[in-house]
Amino acid sequence: MTKPKLRIGLIGTGFMGKAHAFGFASAPRVFDLPYDLELVTVADVTEESASRAARAFGFARHTTNWRDITADQSIDLVSITAPNALHKVMSLEAIAAGKHVYCEKPLAPLAADALEMALAAEAAGVKTQVGFNYLCNPMFGLAREMIGAGELGEIRGYRGIHAEDYMVDAAGPYTFRHDPAGGGALADIGSHALATAEFLVGPITRVMGDCVTMIAERPDGKGGRKAIEVDDLGRAFLRFANGATGSIEGNWISTGRKMQHDFEIYGSKGALAFSQEHFNELHYFSTTDAKGRQGFRRIEASPDHAPYGLFCVAAGHQIGFNDLKAIEVAGYVNAIAGAPEPFNFRKGLRIQSLVESIQRSSAEGRWLDV
Amino acid sequence: MTKPKLRIGLIGTGFMGKAHAFGFASAPRVFDLPYDLELVTVADVTEESASRAARAFGFARHTTNWRDITADQSIDLVSITAPNALHKVMSLEAIAAGKHVYCEKPLAPLAADALEMALAAEAAGVKTQVGFNYLCNPMFGLAREMIGAGELGEIRGYRGIHAEDYMVDAAGPYTFRHDPAGGGALADIGSHALATAEFLVGPITRVMGDCVTMIAERPDGKGGRKAIEVDDLGRAFLRFANGATGSIEGNWISTGRKMQHDFEIYGSKGALAFSQEHFNELHYFSTTDAKGRQGFRRIEASPDHAPYGLFCVAAGHQIGFNDLKAIEVAGYVNAIAGAPEPFNFRKGLRIQSLVESIQRSSAEGRWLDV
Amino acid sequence: MTKPKLRIGLIGTGFMGKAHAFGFASAPRVFDLPYDLELVTVADVTEESASRAARAFGFARHTTNWRDITADQSIDLVSITAPNALHKVMSLEAIAAGKHVYCEKPLAPLAADALEMALAAEAAGVKTQVGFNYLCNPMFGLAREMIGAGELGEIRGYRGIHAEDYMVDAAGPYTFRHDPAGGGALADIGSHALATAEFLVGPITRVMGDCVTMIAERPDGKGGRKAIEVDDLGRAFLRFANGATGSIEGNWISTGRKMQHDFEIYGSKGALAFSQEHFNELHYFSTTDAKGRQGFRRIEASPDHAPYGLFCVAAGHQIGFNDLKAIEVAGYVNAIAGAPEPFNFRKGLRIQSLVESIQRSSAEGRWLDV
Amino acid sequence: MTKPKLRIGLIGTGFMGKAHAFGFASAPRVFDLPYDLELVTVADVTEESASRAARAFGFARHTTNWRDITADQSIDLVSITAPNALHKVMSLEAIAAGKHVYCEKPLAPLAADALEMALAAEAAGVKTQVGFNYLCNPMFGLAREMIGAGELGEIRGYRGIHAEDYMVDAAGPYTFRHDPAGGGALADIGSHALATAEFLVGPITRVMGDCVTMIAERPDGKGGRKAIEVDDLGRAFLRFANGATGSIEGNWISTGRKMQHDFEIYGSKGALAFSQEHFNELHYFSTTDAKGRQGFRRIEASPDHAPYGLFCVAAGHQIGFNDLKAIEVAGYVNAIAGAPEPFNFRKGLRIQSLVESIQRSSAEGRWLDV
């Protein structure tokens, strides 16, 4: 009855490092995982942050050299939450050492890099995971189940958005998110809108992009100013393989919006509307409801919507953002034990490719196949 | 103290004819108009419907020949709510007779016709009005006032939609709304989204369209089937003269949506969000609110938002769709007495031009100046 | 085919006078009424306001002496929108002259007066109407229809509220609404909550009241201060004849609330929730919906919910506050032609009695039968 | 820099046992606690459930005899999530052994028992905590901060409710929640509404109760039927020491409601409205906002509202139900290190007393001091 161990190393202890640590701590308490998770080593750039994280997150050891993790024979899984520019080198070294790799999004600044990473992982036969945790929401699972079961009929259209306002202040300085290699609102958060669109409706086949820079320059942090080359918002028209059409938008200057990862999907028999601002709900309209009694129905997350019931035994209590990470961890740990990978490097690459196609389409002012 | 008379003829007694009659009845009770409105003649195609309307709507006479109205020397203003294809001939005859013309949207199936109508009216010096009554909402006035006063700062972006679901059933028959000359969702209701966008943000300068037919054929009403050439939904990316960018969508197969004429507009200092589903509210976010106390504020229509107070002396009581028509009538009657025309034929033409540019952009797959 | 005339006199031209005029103007345009409405005389206290109202509202004559109306042999129906203290004398004189009487709420300051008025009307055989126009909402009709058809199963509980904030400012002066004879929040707006409760659930049999004065004194308008004897909010526990229990609250110091006339009603098979802030919607929960697909359903007013379709031919367009008055007028005019009276003086008396029972229950600190 | 250890024993591994385990796992990852938490022993009634929980929750040992925990010299803190009827004996034994006790609500079936427990804890000088985790919501902290800072002005009124529908089915069997000793909706969930009311507005001084049994008997699980003596819903009018008045309701047959722990509080300058259905938001109305710009403002939980920022570094991401438990654990662990106890046995007793006063008031049909 003793479970095998899955030995974990974590690189990075910032927001997402903490989220991974949270996932590793709570997933085993919520799910019946196929492994016992053993937290071996955590790495960060300073001794102080690494040692603090080790104790807070429950890791046995800490280091300021991330290669102590990728080179450690005893470690099975490497979590990478370091800056984006390092994802590739860390992943490739971990894969070369035969480790499973759990990497935060974006997988790499450019699709070409992501492709190299995906190919390496596939060649090595390791299991990979990219952090697109919004997809782990039980209400997304419900939506996909309903679509798959034909409850909406033939899917006709889709509208998706991921809007926040963390770049609304033109006096905010240039950051790594403004780096022309991989930066911009479409890449940073529009990528979530694209992941959700394909999760629900299936493959996108063509795109027409509209990427816009509204704040032309920002303080460079050294007393000067720096021109901004990346988009503050990126829109796209979409064609799907199943015949549906749609649109998405990624936007980081959408004043007042903190987490608007929303979608609406409509078919010949029904529709679904979702807002991340109330992410424990899914709104469902059915044309088969009785005349005079039709309307969007606010379905609250409940034990009927797995795996919600593992978190809360009653409807309406609600899971939180970090719980999505625990679901992601559980899915990935199950994949290591043989289940399908929920969102592997190949899928991460796909999102990067879509982003780049939309950017190129916008630059060229024409539709592109993807 | 006696007011001059404004003598009115009405052509058409269907939904919009009734709405005009409602506007003529209630506007004088709500507003202090510069004229006494005298309801002279109403026309419809059958004696029965014309005579019934005369009594119900309060017209002195009725006729089955609309030229009895355009030819009547005593009539000052002609309301046209007949089928779209007749708007042009009726308008031109009324204008030729020196009458003011109040025509339902779309002004004409094609922009070329609308241009002819606008030029005729301008040459004749008569006052015109096209029925875009959503713009008459006091909350739209509030939004425009706030934008104009700089309460949102520099306007950066816009999202608009007009979605309904009255064409969602593929078994529904071919109607005049599917006529390639002027039909389709973009023309029928996307036109409202365009009117609102320019009302709030100012002139659109470039468009990139995406018009889609999802239901390829429909019953022709004679036992056969007829191919559909018009769009079921039309999307567009937008550039505005003030530097902002945006998007709109018109959609008549958006299952579950009955009247989703919504917008969100965001600037450097604030944002507004509006849903026609709750059209007596405007949501306002200000970055100048105190830290930790910021959020979208649900402003309910109140006497602070003219002309709401003329309908209800207290906030929150709410005006209805037909009241928007009364506001439209009042604005037009004031224009006849010398005030600026709220939405004349020239503006109606503008909307037709935008629609056609978006359709052409979609067909050509490239951006177009407008 | 000519309809008989119903000749109307209106006393009072303030907010409710205007609402009555609006109702008389729009009801015939919306409904196929059994009478042609003829607007004969309007009365107000000054020549100027009376003459202005005559023209604006479309009355043939005006007067500053309301007895010109009650004494006019040609008038069939008297609308009374004068101050509450005059309702009784005006009604009794009109009834004595054999006229139908349409009186704004409250019918009279005290139930004893209201009883006298109801008895007089019944003895004279005239038709009466008290203005409780929230009940005319098509969504209320839908709710009652659903309850009656058993769609909620056995009704178990009810929560109602009517909260506004027009008395929230303690510096606001003493007004007639603070008059101990008939004043206070429970009487002024809690009465609406009581009317709705009985409209939906049926007769109330017992009450336990809690009436509270929070603002102990107000400026008397003459430089001094005046003690307030009436309640700023009145709550009640309720027992219904059908076995259900419930509660209501009337509150005029509910900061931020402009028109919160809300209810929730739950039964063994379903529930309804309503908010006047969005009064063209009714939220419906059914325990018979499929597992995992249950939720409150937002039903938007549509032509399925008569008489909404007479105002708007499509769902979601929404009626307004004044349209409720048009529905009330139509119901009353039909009653004059023989249909059941929607809300006659006897029902107005009932509301006054409930209010007084709750006030007395509160004062005595015990349950009372009603 | 090494922290002292706090050694923990957990009794019970059901829903709340899991929630405690979740809290012990996540609190140290989110907060910088004064102790390292060591999970020593978990107890449950069967070997299987105890051993499974040990591994899933991360406890070193397991047992089927809870006294192995209360008698273990090495254990500092005992978490009690066993059935209510056992709370007292377990707590008293743990207290007698000098341990800190963290007990789920209700503290005990009857206030007399709760008093004995509180006195024992106070005499022993141990720190106690009762599980009222809704109070741990950062938005509750914000609400209390705003009230304390006078942002609402003088507090005038309060409405609270805790409604769910888990007992709506009359065919559902008799359970321990129907036990006349401590059972019923008011005790089970109305207790939360009372805790929130006092948390925000301060001490309640008088109550008038209305406790109702709607489902008179239920299957006894042995083929027969059993009469129900406890309430299905309990309402109360309230008086507060600060002069405000209010009402609460606890209701477990409120069809369609899954977690409606809502409140509205209004003062002379502002109001707050909260719904647990969207518990990462607080709605705030201020009378000091500019004229024509007032409205309830939807404040989303953000790092401005501690300790939200320890869970998510950006606004709008949202915490979940289990995170409230982590906050509760952190508060309690800090109390063990010397900070004030957030909600100790004395406060748990207070809630029991309020519940019993309301029940007695209802039975006697009169107001009672509390």
Q: Alpha-carbon distance D285 to D272, whole Å?
A: 6
* Residues in contact with C201: Cβ distance below 8 Å, sequence separation at least 6, in sequence order: C147, C155, C158, C240, C242, C244, C246, C265
With 0-12 / 13-18 / 19 or more C-beta atoms within 10 angstroms meaning exposed / middle / buried, residue D55 is middle
Question: Burial, A1: exposed, middle or buried (Cβ in 10 Å; 0-12, 13-18, 19+)?
Answer: exposed
Q: What is the mean pLDDT of residues C128-133?
A: 96
Structure confidence by residue, pLDDT tens digits, B76-95: 999 999 998 999 999 999 99
What are the chain D neighbours of C237 within 8 Å (beta carbons)?
A: 210, 235
Question: How far, rounded to the nearest angstrom, does the alpha carbon of residue C254 sit from its chain's CA centroid?
Answer: 20
Residue D1's pLDDT band, with cuts at 50, 70 and 90, is low
Q: Which of D194, D195, D160 is nearest to D272 (CA)?
A: D160
B130 φ/ψ angles, rounded to the nearest 5 degrees: -110, 140
Q: What is the pLDDT of residues D271-313, one digit of tens each?
A: 999 999 999 999 999 999 999 999 999 999 999 999 999 999 9
Closest CA to C297 of B165, A274, A284, B166: A284
Q: Are B355 and B162 in contact (CB under 8 A)?
A: no
CA max distance for chain C: 66
Is D322 near chain A, with CB under 8 Å? yes
Please give the Cα distance from B10 to B25 (Å, whole number). Answer: 13
pLDDT tens-digit map of C247-263: 999 999 999 999 999 99
Q: Do C25 and B26 touch (CB under 8 A)?
A: yes
For residues A309 and A301, give the distance between their C-alpha atoms in angstroms, rounded to a whole number.
Answer: 9
Nearest alpha-carbon partner for C26 in C58, C60, C62, C52: C58
- Domain locations in chain B as residue ranges: 5-133, 138-278+280-319
Between helices B47-57 and C15-30, what is the axis angle to 10°? 170
Minimal CA–CA distance to D277: which of C366, C359, A317?
A317
On the question of pLDDT at B1 being above 70, the answer is no
Find the farthest-apart pair of alpha carbons in chain A and give their distance in angstroms, rounded. 66
Taking CB atoms and an 8 Å cutoff, what residues of chain D touch B293? 284, 297, 299
Distance spanning both ends of chain D, measured CA to CA: 48
CA dist C362 and D224 (Å) reads 43
Helices (H), chain A: 15-30, 47-57, 67-70, 87-96, 111-124, 138-148, 185, 191-201, 308-311, 321-336, 345-364
The DSSP code for C134 is G
The answer to whether the CB of C324 falls within 8 A of the CB of C22 is no
- The residue type found at C112 is A
H or E, element range at D113: helix D111-124
Mean pLDDT per 10-residue run, chain A (370 residues)? 91 93 92 96 97 93 98 97 94 98 93 97 98 96 98 98 98 94 94 98 98 97 95 98 98 98 98 98 98 98 97 95 97 98 98 98 98
Query: Is the CB of residue D300 less than 8 Å away from at least one CB of chain A?
Result: yes
pLDDT at A1 (0 to 100): 58
| Cross-chain residue pair B297–D298, CB shorter than 8 Å | yes
| Inter-residue contact B270 to B153 (CB < 8 Å) | yes
Question: Measured between alpha carbons, how far is residue D241 from residues C243, D201, D270, D369, D370 in Å?
Answer: 35, 9, 20, 11, 11
Tokens of A254: 């959408």
Q: Quick check: B360 and B209 in contact, CB under 8 A? A: yes
What average pLDDT score do residues B293-314 get? 97
CA distance D328 to D319: 13
Do the Cβ atoms of C33 and C65 come closer than 8 Å? no
Residue D15: what pLDDT?
87
User: How far is the CA of D10 from the CAs of A27, A115, D108, D191, in angstroms?
Assistant: 19, 48, 18, 24
On average, the pLDDT of chain B sits at: 96
Asked whether the predicted pLDDT for residue D2 surpasses 90, the reply is: no
How many Cβ atoms sit within 10 Å of the Cβ of residue B152? Answer: 24
Instruction: Give the three-class secondary structure for D260.
Output: strand
pLDDT of residue B304: 98
Partners of D261 in the β-ladder: D162
Cβ–Cβ < 8 Å for B317, C259: yes
**Span D156-206, pLDDT tens digits:** 999 999 999 999 999 999 999 999 988 999 999 999 999 999 999 999 999
Mean pLDDT of B162-175: 97
This complex has an ipTM of 0.96
C-alpha distances out from residue B1 to A1, C55, C61, Å: 98, 11, 16
Kindly report the CA angle at C366 between C360 and C367, in degrees rounded to 5? Answer: 85
The length of chain B in residues reads: 370
Bridging pattern class, strands C296-300 and A296-300 = antiparallel
Please give the pLDDT value at position A216. Answer: 96
Residue B109 pLDDT: 87
Nearest to D297 among B291, B297, B305 (CB): B297
Question: What DSSP letter does each residue of A149-207 carry, written as one string?
Answer: TTTT-SEEEEEEEEE--TT--TTSPP-GGG-TTT-SHIIIIIHHHHHHHHHHH--EEEE
Superfamily of domain C138-278+280-319: Dihydrodipicolinate Reductase; domain 2 (3.30.360.10)
Cβ neighbours of B269 in A, within 8 Å: 255
Higher per-residue confidence, A176 vs D265: D265
Q: What is the pLDDT confidence band of residue C1, given thresholds at 50, 70 and 90? A: low
Q: Sort strands A61-63 and A36-43 into parallel, antiparallel or unpaired.
A: parallel
- Chains within contact range of chain C (3+ C-beta pairs < 8 Å): A, B, D
Contacts of A80 (CB under 8 A, 6+ apart): A11, A12, A86, A87, A90, A91, A94, A101, A102, A103, A104
Do A42 and A50 contact (CB within 8 A), yes or no? yes
Rounded to whole angstroms, how far apart are CA atoms C282 and C273?
6
Instruction: Say if residue B307 is preceded by a cis peptide, omega within 30 of 0.
Output: yes
pLDDT digits (tens, 9 = 90+) for A10-59: 999 998 999 999 999 999 989 999 999 999 999 999 999 999 999 989 99
Residues C188, C172: Cα–Cα separation, whole Å: 17
- Tokens found for residue A40: 């071996």
pLDDT beyond 80 at D258: yes
Residue with tokens 């936007």: A251
Amino acid present at A201: V
State how far the Cα of A173 lies from the Cα of C175, in Å rounded to an integer: 57
DSSP state of B9: E
Strand order in the sheet with D61-63: D61-63, D36-43, D5-11, D77-80, D100-104, D128-131
B323–C contact, CB cutoff 8 A: yes
Do A268 and B255 make contact, defined as CB atoms within 8 angstroms?
yes
Nearest CA to D178 among D241, D136, D225, D131?
D225
Q: Read off the pLDDT of residues A266-285 as tens digits, 9 standing for 90 and up.
A: 999 999 999 999 999 999 99
Question: Are the beta carbons of A285 and B255 separated by less than 8 Å?
Answer: yes
- Report the alpha-carbon distance of residue D104 to residue D261 in Å, rounded: 18
Could you give the CA distance from residue C328 to residue C337 in angstroms, rounded to a whole number?
14
Q: What is the pLDDT of residues A109-120, one digit of tens each?
A: 899 999 999 999
Nearest alpha carbon to residue D283 among D260, D266, D303, D259: D266
pLDDT at residue D167, rounded to an integer: 98
Residue C309's closest CA among B262, A291, B301?
A: A291
Token couple for A86 = 């390092």
A13 touches A50 (CB < 8 A): yes
Task: Tell me how far CA of residue D26 lies from CA of A23, A26, A326, B355, in angstroms.
Answer: 9, 7, 11, 55
Yes or no: say if A130 and A348 are a contact pair by the CB < 8 Å rule. yes
Q: Which residues of A touch B295 (CB under 8 A)?
A: 256
Q: What is the DSSP letter of A267?
A: E
Most C CBs within 10 A among B322, B325, B327, hence the mutation to make, goes to B322
| Tokens coding B242 | 């003030």
Q: Best mutation site among D275, D294, D304, D305 for testing chain B: the one with the most B CBs within 10 Å?
A: D294
Pick the CATH number of D5-133 from 3.40.50.10490, 3.40.50.800, 3.40.50.720, 2.170.270.10: 3.40.50.720
Quick: pLDDT tens for C268-284.
999 999 999 999 999 99
Q: Which residues of C touch B79 (CB under 8 A)?
A: none
Find which of A280, A289, A293, A304 to mutate to test the C interface (most C CBs within 10 Å of its CB).
Answer: A293
Determine the pLDDT at residue C15: 87
Q: D69-96: per-residue pLDDT in tens?
A: 999 999 999 999 999 899 999 999 999 9
Which pLDDT score, from 0 to 100, does residue D60 have?
Answer: 96
**Among all residues of chain D, which has the CA nearest to that of C170?**
D268
Q: Which chain B residues have a beta carbon less than 8 Å from that of A296?
A: 256
How far is it, in rounded angstroms, from Cα A226 to Cα A219? 6
**Is C255 an 8 Å CB contact of chain D?**
yes
Task: Decide if pLDDT at D208 tops 90.
Answer: yes
Q: Give the pairing type, strands B61-63 and B36-43.
A: parallel
Q: What is the pLDDT of residues D360-369, one digit of tens each?
A: 999 999 999 9
Sequence-distant (6+) residues with CB within 8 A of D149 are none
Q: How many Cβ contacts (< 8 angstroms) between chains A and D?
A: 117
